[in-house]
Amino acid sequence: MKRTLLVAAALCAAAWAHAADPVKIGFLVKQAEEPWFQDEWRYAEVAAKEKGFTLVKIGIPNGEKTMAAIDNLAAQKAQGFVICAPDVKLGKAIERAAKRNNLKVVSVDDRLVDGSGKPIESIPHMGISGYQIGKQVGEGIIAEIKARKWNMAEVGAIRVAYDQLPTGKERTTGAVDALKAAGFPAANIIDAPQAKTDTENAFNATNIALTKNAKFKHWVAVGLNDEAVLGAVRAAEGRGIKADNMIGIGIGGAKAAENELNKPQPTGFFGSVMISAREHGYQTSINLVNWITGKATPPAEVLTKGMLMTRANQAEVRKAMGQ
Ligand code: FCA
């Protein structure tokens, strides 16, 4: 009995000596209250359980909190972090803080940029092709305009804009380019710049745009995410523009879109291009952990795909996206 125990203890010690420190990573997101980021965290937790590492989730609404979170992770002996920064221009500062603390860093959703606005290639990234996903939004809107037999001359398009974020600008540019490519009059496209990427700011921005452009009979709305389009839809409703006269298509497909698409009565929120929170939460975490443990270096850039989800095809889209 004693011998068996000794052998077991020796085996354990050997295994322990081989194993590196327990892996701990941070997952830092700019808007922890947004369902998209909640989903990313949820899928990162799935990875942590499955692969046996520790996940530290931190909301980083501004630069100061971002820097504090990185120092905090180092103090907790984490070895790296996934980040969606509150401002992509913090890129160089984030890279320096990571280096100083000997932490590996990968970005998700929003690609970090240097002082001149160029992507920081040394930080592996998982995101979406903003322009392509945006095009899917625009094409979805055009298909629905045609299905409703609207005369495009009588349709106004709200572009809820957040152009300081490159992926935001790419998404809405892709969307309006698809509208224009289908013959939508460029003069009917109205910018509604939002101060922050949430529903409230999109609502306020759209209200101003609608006040200035009361002449249109029908409306469509695009934005960088579901919250932006929801804000536009709510503002339109406030002016009596309901589902019959509004086609809003968002980007994300998380809880915010799900709630809306499952309301008993359709609203102006016609659909959302669903993107993969699973890939962005689960796979980024695993890529980072594999990097830390020396298994594999993450790909320099991965762009994931999206699918248009409407009230009619929700179940199929969720199934196809594995969510
Ligand atoms: C950006 C947006 C989020 C989400 C994510 C994939 O970070 O702000 O709403 O769309 O990209």
pLDDT tens digits for range 201-216: 999 999 999 999 999 9
Is the Cβ atom of 251 under 6 angstroms away from ligand 1?
yes
Is the Cβ atom of 197 under 6 angstroms away from ligand 1?
yes
Nearest CA to ligand 1 atom 11: 109
In the prediction, which pLDDT does 21 show? 78
Express each pLDDT in 24-38 by its tens digit.
Answer: 999 999 999 999 999
Q: Read off the tokens for 306.
A: 């999206």
Distance 296 CA to ligand 1 centre (A): 27
- Please answer whether residues 159 and 119 qualify as being in contact, where contact means their C-beta atoms are separated by less than 8 angstroms: no
Is the Cβ atom of 40 under 6 angstroms away from ligand 1?
no
Over the Cα atoms of the chain, what is R_g? Answer: 23
In the prediction, which pLDDT does 258 show? 97
Q: Say yes or no to pLDDT of 16 above 80.
A: no
Residue 231 CA to residue 323 CA, distance in Å, equals: 25
Angle of helix 166-181 relative to helix 130-147, nearest 10 degrees? Answer: 40
Q: Say yes or no to pLDDT of 5 above 80.
A: no
Three-class secondary structure assignment of the chain = CHHHHHHHHHHHHHHHHHCCCCCEEEEEECCCCCHHHHHHHHHHHHHHHHHCCEEEEEECCCHHHHHHHHHHHHHCCCCEEEEECCCHHHHHHHHHHHHHCCCEEEEECCCCECCCCCECCCCCEEEECHHHHHHHHHHHHHHHHHHCCCCHHHEEEEEEECCCCHHHHHHHHHHHHHHHHCCCCHHHEEEEECCCCCHHHHHHHHHHHHHHCCCCCEEEEECCCHHHHHHHHHHHHHCCCCHHHEEEEEEECCHHHHHHHCCCCCCCEEEEEEECHHHHHHHHHHHHHHHHCCCCCCCCEEEECEEEEECCCHHHHHHHHCC
In the prediction, which pLDDT does 3 show? 52
Distance 110 CA to ligand 1 centre (A): 7
- Please answer whether residues 277 and 39 qualify as being in contact, where contact means their C-beta atoms are separated by less than 8 angstroms: yes
Range 65-93 average pLDDT: 98
Q: Say yes or no to pLDDT of 19 above 60.
A: no
Nearest CA to ligand 1 atom 3: 225
Range 228-253 average pLDDT: 98
117 — pLDDT class (breaks 50, 70, 90):
very high
- Please answer whether residues 86 and 30 qualify as being in contact, where contact means their C-beta atoms are separated by less than 8 angstroms: yes
Other Cβ atoms less than 10 A from the Cβ of 15: the count is: 9
In the prediction, which pLDDT does 20 show? 61
Q: Say yes or no to pLDDT of 161 above 80.
A: yes
Express each pLDDT in 285-296 by its tens digit.
Answer: 999 999 999 999
Q: Say yes or no to pLDDT of 17 above 50.
A: no
Range 61-88 average pLDDT: 98
In the prediction, which pLDDT does 217 show? 97
**Average pLDDT over all residues of the chain:** 94
Which residue has tokens 């000794």? 6
Which atom of ligand 1 is the closest one to the Cα of 197? 8
Q: Say yes or no to pLDDT of 22 above 80.
A: yes
Q: Say yes or no to pLDDT of 13 above 80.
A: no
Other Cβ atoms less than 10 A from the Cβ of 32: the count is: 14
Percent of the chain's residues with pLDDT above 70:
94
Query: What is the CA 122 to chain-centroid distance, rounded?
Result: 21
